[in-house]
Amino acid sequence: MQIVNHGVQKELMQNMRNVAYEFFKLPIKEKDKYAMLSNDIHGYGHAYVVSEDQTLDWTDTLFLLIYPNRFRKLQFWPRTPLEFKEITEAYSSEVKRVGDELLSSLSVIMGLEKHVLVGLHKEVLQGLRVNYYPPCNTPEEVLGLSPHSDSSTITLLMQDDDVPGLEIRHEGNWVPVTPIPNALVVNVGDVIEIWSNGKYKSVEHRAVTNKNKRRTSYATFLFPRDDVEVEPFDHMIDAQNLKMYQKVRYGDYLRQSLKRKMEGKAHTDVAKIKELVIEE
């Protein structure tokens, strides 16, 4: 879904776009000062290696853990432009407010008290991934971001207003998510899929490239702490809806799925119960 009237000021959204673009415009040498280390998720990085033919996705990314504050690794936060930190903090705190509200509503929709879902995270972790897709001469030959679902609980995504690119898989087809100016796109992530025993499916999506225009997207992921054990809620399981997912430690699940990222939803197999024994 896309949400509007979320209360995040459009000036703040635009400032976030501006500082991110200032960063991606820097020479590679400057950006590489924040380069992601091979065993880490923080910092500036290039695309994931995707398909068997080793095609790279047409994107540069910057990933930062924002909350809880103690998880920040400030050495990976761009110092150019100067306002980057301040604006990223202001933007993220606003998105956090909207995210908390969404988690409360989801909790109620899933038949739980308002605060239960947030509580189950132990702490809600919030990460920001900025994806920068330069214009691409051959958009039919390369993807911006290969098909995947997010390993988060939910994702709140800001798109550029004037350049489409995001597509979701619906009934076997790729359907563009046409940007609504200043809306936030909300994706159901894998954690909701597991908790709901598959009733609310994480959405498979991808980003395509554009021949003439650059595009940037800003994905805020909300997810549980590593030590949280995620499994379907008892009240979502019955004789008609057998338990489809086994208990997984979230940290293990996340690491597994980052390794296999971008093969559609293949990484969710880690949590799926392989053989369902149906008792008469």
Residue with tokens 């290696």: 49
In the complex, residue closest to ligand AKG by CB:
217
Q: How many CB atoms lie within 10 A of CB 269?
A: 12
For residue 1, the Cα-to-chain-centroid distance in whole angstroms is 14
Rule CB under 6 A: say whether 166 interacts with ligand AKG: yes
Q: How far is the CB of 186 from Fe ion (least distance, A)?
A: 12
Residue 153 binding partner per list ligand AKG, Fe ion, none, with a CB distance cut-off of 5 to 8 Å that depends on partner kind: none
**Contacting ligand AKG within 129-148 (CB under 6 A):** 129, 131, 145
Does 120 sit near ligand AKG (CB under 6 A)?
no
Would you give the distance in Å from CA 166 to the centre of its chain? 12
**Least separation in angstroms between CB 115 and ligand AKG:** 27
| Contact call for residue 57 and Fe ion (CB under 5 A) | no
Cβ pair 163, 135 in contact under 8 A: no
Q: How far apart, in Å, do the first and last CA atoms of the chain sit?
A: 39
CB of 7 to Fe ion, least distance (A): 24
Q: Which of 150, 160, 167, 193 binds Fe ion (CB under 5 A)?
A: 150
Strands 143-148 and 173-176: unpaired
Stretch binding Fe ion (CB under 5 A), from 117-125, 150-158, 159-167, 242-250:
150-158
Residue-wise burial string across 168-197, b where 16 or more C-beta atoms lie within 10 A, e elsewhere: bbeeeeeeebebeebbbbbbbbbbbbbbbb
The minimum distance between CB 129 and ligand AKG, in angstroms, equals 5
Binding mask 171-210 for ligand AKG (x = CB under 6 A): ----------------------------------x-x---
Least distance (Å) between residue 143 CB and ligand AKG: 10
Which of the choices ligand AKG, Fe ion, none does residue 267 contact, using the CB cut-off of 5 to 8 A by kind? none
Tokens of 12: 């703040």
Binding status of residue 219 toward ligand AKG by CB under 6 A:
yes
Query: Whole-number minimum distance, CB 81 to Fe ion, in Å?
Result: 26
CB 262 within 8 A of CB 235: no
Q: How many CA atoms lie within 13 A of 134 on its CB side?
A: 9
The label of the residue with tokens 């971001």 reads 145
Q: With CB under 6 A as the contact rule, which of the stretches 96-104, 118-126, 158-166, 189-197 interacts with ligand AKG?
A: 158-166
Tally of CB atoms within 10 A around 108: 12
How far apart CA 220 and CA 23 sit, in angstroms, is 18
* C-beta closer to ligand AKG: residue 142 or 219: 219
Piece in contact with ligand AKG (CB under 6 A), picked from 24-32, 72-80, 159-167, 259-267: 159-167
Spacing of C-alpha 200 from chain mean position: 16
Contact indicator for 46, 60 with CB cutoff of 8 Å: yes
Contact 244, 208 (CB under 8 A): no
| Site for ligand AKG, rule CB under 6 A | 129, 131, 145, 150, 157, 159, 165-166, 205, 207, 217, 219
| Site for Fe ion, rule CB under 5 A | 150
